[in-house]
A and B are shown apart, each in its own frame.
Chain A
């Protein structure tokens, strides 16, 4: 129910901003019957922006939205209006593609179960992304942690200093080219 609503809202977001590379969400069965070959292929091709409905029993979440960085705030506003709570923020270093991926997890308190994953990819050389602390105050620590581990600069963050790493840490241990 809320899943459908959120999905439509997110799709409208793509449509309204007229993102050219946005394609219609893949038919569900193609993603779900993905054997090993298809999965490998998916890894090779960069995934286009858009909303995909995932099989919950396999992936553990329902909606998987990849947004360009400039649509992030709008996408997070949509989940905020849907009364989702923030689960976590994390990053993944795709060093082969020279990109950093930031993953935002949202879920709901009620029994209308819907897990939403919002992900965005930014260039590895200049990792900058707007903060969402203005929408979710609880993103504060998650963003600081992500900055610690990946060196991502959350523009507009009120207090972007190391959280888990030492105060003077100038290294980012979860980057794949990190050498201790």
Chain B
């Protein structure tokens, strides 16, 4: 007979002994199909490599084989939470290239819609982020508020997530009185909810301890990786494309860019929460200033054929600075259409920034980046 094996003997871990931990491709904390290969020393991350591309669909190739209007619907399949912002960038660059005039009313409607969509995206992020940290109920409150926005958007655009609402030159459906009164009702409701969220979550001691001082990102790392959105603004960088590079009717609105200098995950959280209030302000002003008129231009080329050249347009989406580069050779199909997605750059710095962190902190950090994987993979 063999001697009984002592199972409870303490295991000696060498300080330099590491193991590989695979987070994902299917993992609740990654919010999609994302894999992070982590080299761990106990609870601490020694090295990390993010593996992306699991849901890569090659939108850029589709851009080269479809005509301009045919490609409109692809943009909303990139980021399913804040789809309108991405469509906005696309229509703006094509309008700029082919010199299509957009009626003022259409631009106002676009701005209102994009801001409502941004609030919806931030609400979902808020719920999912708190759920990452172990609090389940805020998600339910957030989804309830988000539902109001989705209902409003559905009535006008016809879809709840993958909108194809913007057209070259305007929008395809004018907003009606029902929408306006629903939006007017929504604004005070959302303000009340925000107060509730701050009471429920922001002051929570467990929540704060999980986030404060965790994952500090310096300005330098943001710059080297091209981070934008709350990732940059949480690190004291006052950068928002709507202000820095004004487009559409954003110069007409009075709103602030929340900037926090703590550089930690809590700062990124606070930036997004404050952004909801700023978006509400834009919607409020947009509804008040909304001019009358058509939503599509009278004169518009039947076939979109931008003159040959190289055009770029950046917009601020819910996830950061989204850019479209259009290289046209004068044909009805783009020669090259590059989509610069913001989360791609924000996610990229995770590898470098998470070194030396504990794994639970790293997951909180990942949540604070606001990942939408189809938008990274395109």
Interface residues of A (CB under 8 A from B): 36, 39-40, 42-43, 57-61, 64, 83-88, 90, 92-93, 103, 105, 107-111, 113, 115, 117, 136-138, 140-141, 149, 162-166, 173-174
Contacts and interface: CB of A to CB of B under 8 A. Distances in A.
Nearest to B325: A90
B325 A141 contact: no
B312 A61 contact: yes
B66 interface: no
Scoring A61, A86, A87 by chain B CB atoms within 10 A of each residue's CB, the highest score goes to A87
21 contacts: A36-B307, A39-B309, A57-B96, A59-B309, A61-B312, A84-B223, A88-B325, A90-B338, A103-B310, A109-B237, A110-B244, A111-B243, A113-B244, A115-B312, A137-B224, A137-B225, A138-B348, A140-B348, A141-B344, A166-B53, A174-B61
A138 B224 contact: yes
Contacts of A140: 348
A59 B327 CA distance: 10
Nearest to B221: A137
B329 A43 contact: yes
Contact of B345 (A64, A138, A164, A165): A138
B227 to A, nearest CB: 8
Contacts of A61: 312
B226 A85 contact: yes
Contact of B335 (A36, A92, A113, A162): A92
B222 interface: yes
Contacts of A117: 310, 312
B311 A60 contact: yes
A92 B327 contact: yes
Contacts of B274: none
Contacts of A174: 60-61, 64, 336
Contacts of B56: 164-165
A109 B314 contact: no
A149 B63 CA distance: 14
Contacts, number: 118
B238 A103 contact: no
B313 interface: yes
B323 A87 contact: yes
Contacts of B239: 109-110
A60 B224 contact: no
A26 to B, nearest CB: 14
A100 B222 CA distance: 29
B244 to A, nearest CB: 6
B117 interface: no
Scoring B52, B325, B349, B378 by chain A CB atoms within 10 A of each residue's CB, the highest score goes to B325
Interface string B339-353: 010001100110010
Contacts of A107: 245, 314, 321
Nearest to A93: B336
Contacts of B9: none
A136 B352 CA distance: 13
Nearest to A149: B60
A59 to B, nearest CB: 6
Given A59-B310, A103-B325, A109-B239, A164 B225 contact: no
Nearest to B335: A92
Contacts of B311: 58-60
